[in-house]
Structure 1
Amino acid sequence: MAEVKLFGARVSPFSCRIEVALKLKGVEYEFIDEDLHKKSPLLLKYNPVHKKVPVLVHNGKPICESLVILEYIDETWEEGPSLLPKDPYERAMVRFWAKFLDEKCLPPMWKACWSIGEEQEKAKEESTELLKFLEGKFSGKKFFGGDNIGMVDIVANFISYWFIIVQELVGLQVLTKEKFPKLGEWIDEYLNSDIIKENFPPRDKLTAIFQARFEAAAAAGGGGGGGSGGGASK
């Protein structure tokens, strides 16, 4: 039997991506919960370049970076639903939107949460414009790729959960059902999926973590703590 280990952090949206994918595929694995403030020697050994979670170790061989790991899982384990479509063009589109989420959406959305003043306003405007592209992706579909959870849905988990929690804490009105009804429907559908409910960290735990970071930042006189769901993750 193949040995599968996942070095991650329970509060990280990037680690949760991998857990969701493994559960969808029915892959048994061992989870190693990393302290991101004091990373283990094994994590640093397996990911010496970025020194971040998640890292999937399959039969002793490490795979780093969540987007890369998701494709590896889909190609290695044929059991369970496919995370990416078979058609080359459709696969390319999935890769495009996954990168769009990580490289275009994530930075301004977190900046909108953790910054103040003019910088926050600019980040809110940018986030709203980017979310309009995602809103336009839905046309009679439950998920980004159709009727089943796929790679883009998994990559977008920070939107459905982490961002919603933080924007409520800071009183933002960036992603609301009034502004983005289709995204709102997707969030409800996604979060009510059994596989998602079982693997996302408890809402009260994340809320407490972010609240503590806001209070620490305020005490230090800053505008926020930055980071994405626990820091040092991708």
Structure 2
Amino acid sequence: ELWGLWNILLKILPSCPFFLVLVEFLFKSDCLMEEVKVLNFWPSPFGMRVRIGLEEKGVKYEYQEENIMVNKSDLLLRMNPVYKKIPVIIHNGNPICESLIILQYIDEAWPASQPFLPSNPYDGALARFWADFVDKKIFDAGSRIIRSKGEAQEEAKQDMVENLEHFEGALKQMSKGGPYFGGEEFGFLDIALIPFVPWFHTHEIIGNFKLPFETRFPLLHAWVTKCMERESVKKIVPTPERLLEFALQLRKKFVVD
């Protein structure tokens, strides 16, 4: 809301540098900063995408770690009583849940910087479609690789390769020759997918196979390299080794070798 008012003031104030600097100072000063809190569990790619989105928008926030493997805080249960899951952001006392919904909320609540979603309705629909594909297919296949063995794991590995093949085609279609899914701009689908990339190392080690990025997915391979250079991604995404260590502990709970 503050940023919306800021945009209105820019239109009605005289084009005097003094007025513009004064208003910008007031709206960015700590006394008028909006309250944003993130509830998250560090290995979650869903939580990572929320934090990357906030970093890209330059939004300051308080972070609360939720070790959901041990206990869920009273705050989490109050803020998300329906699903009782992370991530949750609390913006000026109002909770927003489900990572893709949160990501779109961030885009709309802080519109001053580069938008995450393209203005073209069809391009925006494509970005949402493939972001949903990440949650339904990429996450599912990765989880099955970690939690299964034998034929079930082999099927999950094949599904993961096929899913990435779909994404290679989507990147070719949507990027229009640019480095990101949105072309030249890092956006909604990039943020939705990139937190899952560090998990691929875990899938390869536990599944004892290699995802053929360089040979079959050259566009995705270049996309990963480009995304990993962004400060927001480097700041938020854990190392593949740390995620592997966590996954091996998780696997002990679900799989009997």
**TM category, shorter:** 0.7 to 0.9
Q: Is the CA contact 2:168–2:217 (under 8 Å) kept in the aligned structure 1?
A: yes
Name the counterpart of 1:89.
122
Higher mean C-alpha deviation, range 138-147 or range 181-190: 138-147
Which one of the candidate residues 17, 32, 47 is aligned to 2:49? Answer: 17
Q: Is the CA contact 1:8–1:53 (under 8 Å) kept in the aligned structure 2?
A: yes
Give 1:191 deviation, angstroms: 1.3
Q: Is the CA contact 2:142–2:156 (under 8 Å) kept in the aligned structure 1?
A: yes
Query: Are 1:32 and 2:64 matched, yes or no?
Result: yes
Give 1:88 deviation, angstroms: 1.6
Structure 1: stretches of 5+ with no match in the other structure? 224-234
Q: What one-letter code is carried by the residue in structure 2 that aligns with 1:20?
A: I
Whole-angstrom CA distance in 2 between matches of 1:126 and 1:211: 21
Q: Is the CA contact 2:130–2:189 (under 8 Å) kept in the aligned structure 1?
A: yes
The 5 A counterparts of 1:44-193 are 44-139=77-172, 140-193=177-230
Q: Is the CA contact 1:113–1:172 (under 8 Å) kept in the aligned structure 2?
A: no
2:43 aligns to what SS in structure 1? coil
Give 1:165 deviation, angstroms: 3.3
Cα gap change, 1:72 to 1:157, in 2 (>3 Å): same
Q: Is the CA contact 2:36–2:62 (under 8 Å) kept in the aligned structure 1?
A: yes
1:177 aligns to what SS in structure 2? helix
Give 1:221 deviation, angstroms: 5.5
Cα gap change, 1:221 to 1:134, in 2 (>3 Å): closer
Greater C-alpha radius of gyration: 2
Q: What do the CA deviations read for 1:153-191 (whole angstroms, capped 9, x no partner)?
A: 111124321123332344222353223221111111111
Higher mean C-alpha deviation, range 7-16 or range 122-131: 122-131
Q: Is the CA contact 1:18–1:69 (under 8 Å) kept in the aligned structure 2?
A: yes
Cα gap change, 1:89 to 1:197, in 2 (>3 Å): same
Whole-angstrom CA distance in 2 between matches of 1:17 and 1:112: 22
Query: Are 1:213 and 2:247 matched, yes or no?
Result: no
Whole-angstrom CA distance in 2 between matches of 1:2 and 1:188: 34
Whole-angstrom CA distance in 2 between matches of 1:113 and 1:212: 10
Whole-angstrom CA distance in 2 between matches of 1:11 and 1:109: 13
Higher mean C-alpha deviation, range 130-139 or range 159-168: 159-168
Identical amino acids, percent of aligned pairs: 37
Q: Is the CA contact 1:5–1:30 (under 8 Å) kept in the aligned structure 2?
A: yes
Number of residues of Structure 1 aligned to a counterpart in Structure 2? 220
RMSD: 1.8
1:156 aligns to what SS in structure 2? helix
1:187 aligns to what SS in structure 2? helix
Cα gap change, 1:168 to 1:61, in 2 (>3 Å): same
Structure 2: stretches of 5+ with no match in the other structure? 1-32
Q: Which has the higher contact order (CA 8 A, sep 6+)?
A: 1
Higher mean C-alpha deviation, range 28-37 or range 164-173: 164-173
Normalising by structure 2, report the TM-score. Answer: 0.79
Whole-angstrom CA distance in 2 between matches of 1:13 and 1:96: 18
Q: Is the CA contact 1:98–1:152 (under 8 Å) kept in the aligned structure 2?
A: yes
Cα gap change, 1:175 to 1:38, in 2 (>3 Å): farther
Q: Is the CA contact 1:74–1:83 (under 8 Å) kept in the aligned structure 2?
A: yes
Normalising by structure 1, report the TM-score. Answer: 0.87
Give 1:114 deviation, angstroms: 2.9
